[in-house]
Amino acid sequence: MTDYPKMTAEERKAEYAKVTKEYEDLKARGLKLNMARGKPGKAQLDLVSDIFSLMQKPEDYVSDGIDVRNYGELSGLPAAKRLFAEILGCKPEQVFVGGNASLQLMYDTISKAYTHGLLHSERPWCREPVVKFLCPSPGYDRHFKVTESFGFELVTIPMTDEGPDMDAVEEAIKDPAVKGMWNVPKYSNPDGIIYSAETIRRIASMKPAAPDFLLMWDNAYCIHEFEGDYVEFPDILSECEKYGNADMVFEFASTSKVTLPGAGISCFACSEANMAYMEKLLTVQVISFDKVNQQRHVLYLKDKAHTLELMKKHAAIMGPKFRCVVEALDREIAPLEIASWRRPKGGYFVSLNAMPGTAKRTLALCKEAGVTMTGAGATFPYGKDPQDSNIRIAPSLPPVEELEQAIAVLCVCLKMAALEKLGV
Amino acid sequence: MTDYPKMTAEERKAEYAKVTKEYEDLKARGLKLNMARGKPGKAQLDLVSDIFSLMQKPEDYVSDGIDVRNYGELSGLPAAKRLFAEILGCKPEQVFVGGNASLQLMYDTISKAYTHGLLHSERPWCREPVVKFLCPSPGYDRHFKVTESFGFELVTIPMTDEGPDMDAVEEAIKDPAVKGMWNVPKYSNPDGIIYSAETIRRIASMKPAAPDFLLMWDNAYCIHEFEGDYVEFPDILSECEKYGNADMVFEFASTSKVTLPGAGISCFACSEANMAYMEKLLTVQVISFDKVNQQRHVLYLKDKAHTLELMKKHAAIMGPKFRCVVEALDREIAPLEIASWRRPKGGYFVSLNAMPGTAKRTLALCKEAGVTMTGAGATFPYGKDPQDSNIRIAPSLPPVEELEQAIAVLCVCLKMAALEKLGV
């Protein structure tokens, strides 16, 4: 097998005919497979469904003297704060435990900045002529969408192997209209990159022109290794504090991929000054989040060590799926020199860069053959990948047997699109 | 016992000495009682805690073919929509099932109007020079606080025995800056009034100058009778539709006082056009609410008839508490002509009007004697009761024995404050 760019026109023609035949055969199978979203598979749901057997004894209804079944405790159960604090490495009093979705807490933080302003805002962001937000890309489409929905101008920051390009960030934050930055610092979505110590130091010590710069630190995959041991990661709150930036950061996490997606618990963590400010705003909005579910999670997860044991069991389900994807790419695509991809050890995605100008075509072909993928461009601001290259693969939902078929389809589509681009 | 206003100065002096003595005796008991919030008591929590025994069998994880444990179904489980629709008398497709707090859904609706505008808004409300909101008063302090927090101008509308004074409402809505109105239409908070058919007709057929007028219809106590049979109540969505106002209303409800406060499920109901508009905004904010808890509630409550049976059991706990309050007032206060109160048959409050100018003093005295009540003025916009008269009694939390003591304290404080006002 020669790599495609080096093939003669004749060879490409022949290869295209062969690959198209393979594609038609796969299409004829009438597949209906989904690699679009970081959605856990059924085996992972079954793994944790013994959580429903808890909360059976009256003593389970009480936590630190609080009847978890009644109203109250806006910022969450102290025991749930302790659990998240231990996992994130911050202090319990820096933790606000919310409902089933950290995305909602993130949206709400941005929304509050917009409607009321943050602790150090001169005015609510809706009164600013322009608000710009830094989007390390490829990144998480839902993050970008939140800031886009408030009319912010999204500024693309390139990703490097160590996290966001900090030269670009440090330049951008000189503009006082730049109000914040999205981050998935551990096993970034979709690259699976762990921000380096130096990147974190530069982030924590930033001196943005905006006094109310908002570092959105979505630690979505903080304990989500699927290969190898748990990787320690610095507490961003104390890092920021070290450089006089205690109030700059809001960290987010959830158990959506620890217990149940959509029925877990979430949190944000921030300085105590930010906490006091946010609680004053949040008390208008909600009496308390679901403390029964918080208690259920405290009883189920117990502490960090016990939670990490559970994550090993998730890894035993997730690991083979990721290996299946990467091995297929290594076997089918690597020799052709038409794409590159990362080999993450945690998180929920494999990020693949196809030959520039072929991502859209590749995914259209996949769709036609019954394989749904995250839309091309989704990992960039406004859904527009300037290179039309990045493809996010989410292998968690299908069982391995289905995944093998789905990735086979993807490989064939990558080939077809590349050959078409090179000319056939 | 003569009524106080008719007493001579001498008689009042003697009475004040007697009442003060009673007060000091009560104070000496070192009570710590709470009638501040519509918080269910422990007996009510225990009544429904068998809800935790559900979700044990794998077939319970599936509803209409949906695995409730995974992401998805932004607007909620179809079965949960059917349950709320049956209770409210609207259509399932008009229902969005949310998380544990209807207050959060209400806040979010107002917030979305502010940040993005509603379906018929010319611009987001944050771009309006002035936004005014109608607040039938006495009303629910948390409602008023939400609109106050966005800087809206709160317009007091008097309450009558049939609901808000509709002459005042119809006059007010000629102003295009008047963007909406709060309502607790059945067993209003705190008066316990059921809006009359004529009031509802006039509300549903309003012609507000604002094209995006928002009728906030918090049907918090839709099935919350504690005395007598369930009272049928019209579906506001079809009422509004009848008069060409389909998109004017958002209705809210929850199971906070049906199952567990803070761990129930909530919903909003609106026209299908509004639903499509809101889902487009909400999909940016959240993937899905807690469907496991929605399913738990579907399994537990089953349907309207079964839910009404459960409400009878709540009534058996709540009824005696309300009777205890009203009987004490009848016995202790009625002959004195210093206050009046309502006799609700549902909801969570008794609304008492003390002699004008004495509410604050009464509640300060209560507090000193260890009885916490909703703050004076809380039932009016900006927390300011122009008459300093309305007192909201929330008898649900304390057991009857404690309630008897608490109400005894309140009665003595009412007497002292009235005598002080009349001159002693």
DSSP for B222-248, written as a single string:
TT-BSSSSPPP---HHHHHHHTT-GGG
Residue B158, φ and ψ in degrees, nearest 5: -65, 150
Average pLDDT of chain A?
97
Average confidence (pLDDT) over B139-161: 98
Residue B52, φ and ψ in degrees, nearest 5: -75, -15
- Geometric angle at alpha carbon A340, from A338 and A345, rounded to 5°: 155
Q: How many CA atoms lie within 13 A of A210 on its CB side?
A: 30
Provide the token pair at A340. 């590159």
Size of interface A-B (CB pairs under 8 A): 149
Q: Which of B62, B286, B396 to mutate to test the interface with A (most CBs of A within 10 A)?
A: B286
- Virtual torsion, Cα A368, A369, A373, A379, nearest 10 deg: -50
CB-closest option in B61, B100, B124 to A99: B100
Q: What is the largest CA-CA distance in chain A?
A: 78
Average confidence (pLDDT) over A189-194: 97
For chain B, the structural domain boundaries read: 4-45+308-422, 62-302
Residue B191, φ and ψ in degrees, nearest 5: -70, -25
**Which residues sit opposite A306 in a β-bridge?**
none
Q: Measured between beta carbons, which residues in chain A are less than 8 angstroms from residue B145?
A: 284
pLDDT of residue B2: 76
Provide the token pair at A330. 């290594």
CB-closest option in B56, B146, B290 to A293: B290
Q: Given the structure tokens 């003297």, which residue do they identify?
A: A65
Percentage of chain B with pLDDT > 70?
100
CB contact under 8 A, B40 and A70: yes
CATH class of B62-302: alpha beta
Helix (H, G, I), strand (E, B) or coil at A268: strand
CB contact under 8 A, A149 and B286: no
The hierarchical CATH code for the domain A65-303 is: 3.40.640.10
CA distances from B142 to A190, A328, B73 (A): 41, 57, 29
| Residue A288 confidence (pLDDT) above 80 | yes
Residue B90 amino acid letter = C
CB contact under 8 A, B100 and A289: yes
Q: Given the structure tokens 């409550």, which residue do they identify?
A: B301
Residue pLDDT, tens place only, A75-95: 999 999 999 999 999 999 999
Residue pLDDT, tens place only, A155-174: 999 999 999 999 999 999 99
| Residue A1 confidence (pLDDT) above 90 | no
Residues 6+ apart with CB under 8 A from A28: none
Helix (H, G, I), strand (E, B) or coil at B342: coil
Q: Min CA distance, A285 vs chain B (Å)?
A: 5
- A390 with A138: CB under 8 angstroms? yes
CB-closest option in B45, B100, B114 to A70: B45
Question: In whole angstroms, what is the distance from residue A376 CA to residue A395 CA?
Answer: 16
Q: Which of A52, A131, A146, A297 to mutate to test the interface with B (most CBs of B within 10 A)?
A: A52
CB contact under 8 A, A260 and B49: no
Q: Measured between beta carbons, which residues in chain B are less than 8 angstroms from residue A116?
A: 149
The DSSP bridge pattern shows strands A214-218 and A178-183 to be parallel
Q: Measured between beta carbons, which residues in chain A are less than 8 angstroms from residue B142?
A: 284, 287
The hierarchical CATH code for the domain A4-45+308-422 is: 3.90.1150.10
Provide the token pair at A175. 């503009």
Provide the token pair at A87. 């996992």
CB contact under 8 A, A116 and B145: no
pLDDT of residue A2: 76
pLDDT of residue B20: 98
pLDDT bracket for residue B41 (50, 70, 90): very high
Q: Which of A48, A69, A108 to mutate to test the interface with B (most CBs of B within 10 A)?
A: A69
CB contact under 8 A, B115 and A289: no
CB contact under 8 A, A61 and B45: yes
CB contact under 8 A, B71 and A39: yes
| Residue B108 confidence (pLDDT) above 80 | yes
In this structure, what DSSP letter does residue A381 have?
G
Residue pLDDT, tens place only, A109-165: 999 999 999 999 999 999 999 999 999 999 999 999 999 999 999 999 999 999 999
CB contact under 8 A, B146 and A284: yes
The DSSP bridge pattern shows strands B178-183 and B132-137 to be parallel
- A157 with A136: CB under 8 angstroms? yes
Mark B327-364 as b/e (b = at least 16 C-beta within 10 Å).
Answer: ebbeebbeebebbebbebbbbbbbbbbbbeebbbbbbe
Q: Which of A73, A128, A284, A293 to mutate to test the interface with B (most CBs of B within 10 A)?
A: A284
| Residue B1 confidence (pLDDT) above 70 | no
Q: Min CA distance, B82 vs chain A (Å)?
A: 21
Residues 6+ apart with CB under 8 A from A390: A138, A190, A351, A352, A353, A354, A359, A376, A377, A379, A380
Nearest residue of A to residue B101 by CA position? A286
Q: Would the ipTM clear 0.95, i.e. be above it?
A: yes
CB contact under 8 A, A285 and B61: no
Residue pLDDT, tens place only, B370-387: 999 999 999 999 999 999
Mark A178-206 as b/e (b = at least 16 C-beta within 10 Å).
Answer: bbbbbbbbbbbbbbbbbbeeebbebbbeb
Percentage of chain A with pLDDT > 90?
99
CA distances from B127 to A128, A212, A316, A406, B130 (A): 12, 22, 52, 48, 9
Provide the token pair at A21. 């035949």
- A293 with B114: CB under 8 angstroms? no
Average confidence (pLDDT) over A182-195: 98
CB-closest option in A111, A287, A288 to B111: A111
Average confidence (pLDDT) over B119-147: 98
CB contact under 8 A, B291 and A262: yes
Question: In whole angstroms, what is the distance from residue B279 CA to residue A262 CA?
Answer: 17
CA distances from B96 to A108, B250, B282 (A): 19, 11, 11
> Long-range contacts: B77-80, Cβ < 8 Å, 24+?
B77/B291, B77/B294, B77/B295, B77/B298, B79/B294, B79/B295, B79/B298, B80/B265, B80/B267, B80/B291, B80/B294, B80/B295, B80/B297, B80/B298
Q: Measured between beta carbons, which residues in chain A are less than 8 angstroms from residue B53?
A: 56
Q: Min CA distance, B176 vs chain A (Å)?
A: 22
| Residue B223 confidence (pLDDT) above 70 | yes
Question: In whole angstroms, what is the distance from residue B235 CA to residue B89 CA?
Answer: 5
Percentage of chain B with pLDDT > 90?
99
Average confidence (pLDDT) over B277-293: 97
Cα torsion A280, A180, A346, A411: sign = positive
Q: How many CA atoms lie within 13 A of B340 on its CB side?
A: 3
Nearest residue of B to residue A116 by CA position? B150
Q: Min CA distance, A265 vs chain B (Å)?
A: 10
Nearest residue of B to residue A74 by CA position? B262
CB contact under 8 A, A39 and B103: no
Residue A358 amino acid letter = T
| Residue B113 confidence (pLDDT) above 70 | yes
Q: Given the structure tokens 């035993």, which residue do they identify?
A: A316
The C-alpha R_g of chain A, in whole angstroms, comes to 23
Q: Min CA distance, A281 vs chain B (Å)?
A: 8
- DSSP code string of A62-78: EETTEETTSS--TT--H
In this structure, what DSSP letter does residue A139 have?
-
Q: B344: cis peptide before it, omega within 30°? A: no
Q: Min CA distance, B280 vs chain A (Å)?
A: 10
Angle of the A272-282 helix axis to the A102-115 helix axis, nearest 10: 80
- A9 with A346: CB under 8 angstroms? no
Question: In whole angstroms, what is the distance from residue A233 CA to residue A246 CA?
Answer: 18
Average confidence (pLDDT) over A253-268: 97
Helix (H, G, I), strand (E, B) or coil at A410: helix
Question: In whole angstroms, what is the distance from residue A198 CA to residue A16 CA?
Answer: 46
pLDDT of residue A185: 98
Q: Measured between beta carbons, which residues in chain B are less than 8 angstroms from residue A149?
A: 116, 281, 284
Q: Which of B52, B77, B289 to mutate to test the interface with A (most CBs of A within 10 A)?
A: B52
Q: What is the largest CA-CA distance in chain B?
A: 78
Provide the token pair at B144. 């008023």
Residue pLDDT, tens place only, B328-361: 999 999 999 999 999 999 999 999 999 999 999 9
Q: Measured between beta carbons, which residues in chain A are less than 8 angstroms from residue B124?
A: 126
- A133 with A181: CB under 8 angstroms? yes
| Residue A364 confidence (pLDDT) above 90 | yes
